[in-house]
Chain A
Amino acid sequence: MTDTRCRTCRIILALMLSLSLAGCAANRVNTLAEVPPMHSISEFRDQRFADVADPWEGFNRSMYRFNFYFDKYLFLPVVNGYEFVTPTFLQERVSGFYNNLGEVRNLTNSFFQLKGTESVTTLGRFVTNSTVGLGGMFDPATKFGLARHDEDFGKTLGYWGSGSGPYLVLPIFGPSSLRDTGGLAVDSGISYGIYTAIDPFGNSDEGFAISSGITTLDAIDARHQQSFRYYESGYPFEYYMVRFFYHEKREIESGKPLPAE
């Protein structure tokens, strides 16, 4: 299992490298001398808006582009195939199932943030939807007034005062930050730990096949639920808008509520 994973990692890494290097090698054949433009940055005295710390912009832009190609040639065709063969009703049940598993992450993290009411609500949701909601396929909890609270370890770190760190575009996962990348690793570690402890397919000979199937479907469902498409806006400064919205949303949602004045 580790072997296959390593190989996949290596292929992805090689792909990413070749893509980012291609960007450097080509397009630099430029024989005509450059002429300064009519308007340049020096004439403006204003704060930048939509500004986010991004010291690794070159790398991030390469990743952004990699994700675009990854989506275009692999991920989205698979997702489209899934959407084509699966009835909408079934797609919704699949999403419900995985969203319900995500409640475990929400629960651990609202617990880490010592949010009492929220933890109880989330626990209530998980129990209700896992039982009455048939393993999360349906969501009766929302109808009972138990609202979903999305939490993750990146938000937990933010809640306890950690800054977001530089912006980071991850391969496949997309926009993130140094802090949120760490958070993602911790959340995945916790899920993996729980999964190993329970080991639901331990007695089955096909345990590995089943768990890879579940992981794959999870990835497909996640992309299916996410409507964002790289470069779809066609706006030449899309990278900055995405960076800004990602950062700002995380900042706002991970902050501690301020005491009332």
Chain B
Amino acid sequence: MLHLRLLFIACLVLTSVPSLAADDGYGYPIQGSYEATILGTPASLMPEFPAKMRTRQLVLDVIPDRQRPPIFFYDTGLRCTFAYQKQKAPLVFLIAGAGSSDRAPKLLTMMKALYQAGFHVITLPSPSHANFIISASQSSIPGDLTEDAADLYRVMETAWKQVEGDIEVSSFDLCGYSLGASQAAFVTRLDEERRVFNFRKVLMINPPVSLYNSVTRIEDMLKQIPGGPKKQGIFFNKMLSKFSQFYRYGNFVAINDDFLYSIYAERLFSHEETAGLIGLTFRINLAGMIFSSDVMTNSGYVVPKNRVLSPTDSLSDYFLVSTHLSFFDYFNEYFYPYFQKRRPGLTKQELINSQSLTSIEGYLKSSAKFGVMTNENDFILTKAELDYLRQLFGERAKIYPRGGHLGNLEYKENLDYMVAFFK
């Protein structure tokens, strides 16, 4: 989403990194895992896309008669972006990563690459994005791969119903990145029963193996800041003043690419600080998810139970509270109790295990539909988990030497691989 991306940028970004390519024949230049994650792909190393595309925004009424609280007055339905060809073509559904909307920059780049190669594309927001929680999630409690997959499937059916009169489709494909990659696997498994789409090929980009383990690793990044996660506000303000001092000493013209590039070149932020900023960005995303879910379910988690917020009420305190809650708080105090109530006897460990690719590994191994694309230094995976992916998918796993978590997704070679996978 735009603002979180801006926050990223406000902390580090650049456009043209001098090429530092090692001798491994892979041209993506940024070595560090955290740096790659934050900086992404320099604009000069992205492919060129056509300026004009046939696209339109879909606003889907996924759950008829959905009651939306007044504070979400601007939400009128689930937003998806639809890019379409004039001729018959395969249709690819793209699922965004955690907390991202249907217009997340990475998602749009993937859409453009596929569109250019002749595919129809529909981008879907992540089930952890507020718009999805408000307009498309049956329970409005995100995070369970099986339930999120069912919600996503309903969204895809609704989207397809809306566009099937306008385009000719030869087959259906599916692709997701990060959390969306895990969801893609579960959606495909559901499709084996439901048979609406019969997905031909499914690409998982930078997936976590175990959701819980991966999030633990991201949460750990915030532990490295002075005082720990409870002092994230102080940390953020300190980073901010570092940032603005740097600007003022440097006599820059504006906060533009040159300025952001020099932040990177001069190593303004240490390795730990960079990790802290990634962790904080995750928390800011998570806060949106927790708040929206709480308002939708009236659970009294961060907003008083039965309080009806008006469109102009201040949310400042909720913002502070929500950003200070960790994923573990959410899991232990909100998510697990909800599932425990519905399935008595369910243990925490069982719930954690079900949020993992290992829980459907038999299916993943047996189906030739799947492919995986990830990086050697993606910090959401341990060495063992990376080996697990290699062993599970064999030749269908494409592992790049660097790129961090999604940093190289928009790199030309990666996009070419993605497009070729669906050809």
- The docked-state distance in angstroms from the alpha carbon of A27 to that of B308 is 7
Find out whether the CB atom of A39 lies under 8 angstroms from the CB atom of B319.
Answer: no
Q: Which of A237, A238, A257 is the one whose CB lies under 8 Å from B248?
A: A257
**CB-defined contacts of A98 to chain B, threshold 8 Å:** none
- The docked-state distance in angstroms from the alpha carbon of A34 to that of B249 is 51
- The docked-state distance in angstroms from the alpha carbon of A86 to that of B125 is 32
Verify if A253 is at the interface (C-beta below 8 Å from B): yes
Verify if B317 is at the interface (C-beta below 8 Å from A): yes
Find out whether the CB atom of A37 lies under 8 angstroms from the CB atom of B312.
Answer: no
Verify if A48 is at the interface (C-beta below 8 Å from B): yes
Verify if B300 is at the interface (C-beta below 8 Å from A): yes
Find out whether the CB atom of A240 lies under 8 angstroms from the CB atom of B319.
Answer: yes
**CB-defined contacts of B355 to chain A, threshold 8 Å:** none
Verify if B291 is at the interface (C-beta below 8 Å from A): yes
- The docked-state distance in angstroms from the alpha carbon of A256 to that of B252 is 11
Interface mask (B394-408 → A, CB under 8 Å = 1, otherwise 0): 000000000000000
- The docked-state distance in angstroms from the alpha carbon of A150 to that of B252 is 12
Most chain B CB inside 10 Å of its own CB: which residue of A24, A50, A57: A50
- The docked-state distance in angstroms from the alpha carbon of A149 to that of B252 is 11
Verify if B302 is at the interface (C-beta below 8 Å from A): yes
Verify if A5 is at the interface (C-beta below 8 Å from B): no
Q: Which of B131, B251, B253, B324 is the one whose CB lies under 8 Å from A46?
A: B324
Find out whether the CB atom of A34 lies under 8 angstroms from the CB atom of B255.
Answer: no
Verify if B236 is at the interface (C-beta below 8 Å from A): yes
| Minimum Cβ distance to chain B for residue A242 (Å) | 7
Verify if A36 is at the interface (C-beta below 8 Å from B): yes
Q: Which of A20, A40, A242, A258 is the one whose CB lies under 8 Å from B249?
A: A258
Q: Which A residues from 38 to 71 make CB contacts under 8 A with B? A: 38-41, 44-50, 57-58, 61-62, 65, 68
Find out whether the CB atom of A34 lies under 8 angstroms from the CB atom of B307.
Answer: yes
By DSSP majority rule, is chain A's interface helix, strand, loop, or mixed? loop
**CB-defined contacts of B71 to chain A, threshold 8 Å:** 236
| Minimum Cβ distance to chain B for residue A81 (Å) | 16
Verify if B420 is at the interface (C-beta below 8 Å from A): no
Verify if B163 is at the interface (C-beta below 8 Å from A): no
**CB-defined contacts of B130 to chain A, threshold 8 Å:** 234-236
| Minimum Cβ distance to chain A for residue B72 (Å) | 8
- The docked-state distance in angstroms from the alpha carbon of A256 to that of B233 is 26
Q: Which B residues from 127 to 144 make CB contacts under 8 A with A? A: 129-131
Find out whether the CB atom of B315 lies under 8 angstroms from the CB atom of A237.
Answer: yes
- The docked-state distance in angstroms from the alpha carbon of A55 to that of B365 is 58
Find out whether the CB atom of B306 lies under 8 angstroms from the CB atom of A237.
Answer: no
Number of A positions contacting B (CB below 8 A): 59
Find out whether the CB atom of B75 lies under 8 angstroms from the CB atom of A234.
Answer: yes
Q: Which B residues from 302 to 337 make CB contacts under 8 A with A? A: 302-308, 310-325, 329, 333
Q: Which of A39, A233, A235, A236 is the one whose CB lies under 8 Å from B321?
A: A39
Find out whether the CB atom of B301 lies under 8 angstroms from the CB atom of A88.
Answer: no
- The docked-state distance in angstroms from the alpha carbon of A239 to that of B315 is 9
Find out whether the CB atom of A252 lies under 8 angstroms from the CB atom of B247.
Answer: yes
Verify if B201 is at the interface (C-beta below 8 Å from A): no
**CB-defined contacts of B72 to chain A, threshold 8 Å:** 236
**CB-defined contacts of A37 to chain B, threshold 8 Å:** 294, 300-305
- The docked-state distance in angstroms from the alpha carbon of A251 to that of B319 is 23
Verify if B171 is at the interface (C-beta below 8 Å from A): no
Find out whether the CB atom of B310 lies under 8 angstroms from the CB atom of A238.
Answer: no
Verify if A198 is at the interface (C-beta below 8 Å from B): no
**CB-defined contacts of B243 to chain A, threshold 8 Å:** 252
Find out whether the CB atom of B311 lies under 8 angstroms from the CB atom of A61.
Answer: yes
- The docked-state distance in angstroms from the alpha carbon of A33 to that of B232 is 34
Of B1-9, B192-200, B385-393, the one contacting chain A is B1-9
User: Can you name 20 extra interface pairs (CB under 8 A) apart from A68-B74, A233-B2?
Assistant: A27-B70, A36-B300, A37-B301, A37-B302, A37-B303, A38-B300, A38-B302, A47-B233, A48-B316, A49-B232, A49-B323, A61-B312, A88-B52, A150-B254, A233-B101, A234-B1, A236-B71, A236-B292, A240-B319, A252-B244
Interface residues of B (CB under 8 A from A): 1-4, 6-7, 10, 51-52, 70-75, 79, 101, 103, 125, 129-131, 230-234, 236-237, 240, 243-245, 247-251, 253-255, 287-288, 291-292, 294-295, 300-308, 310-325, 329, 333
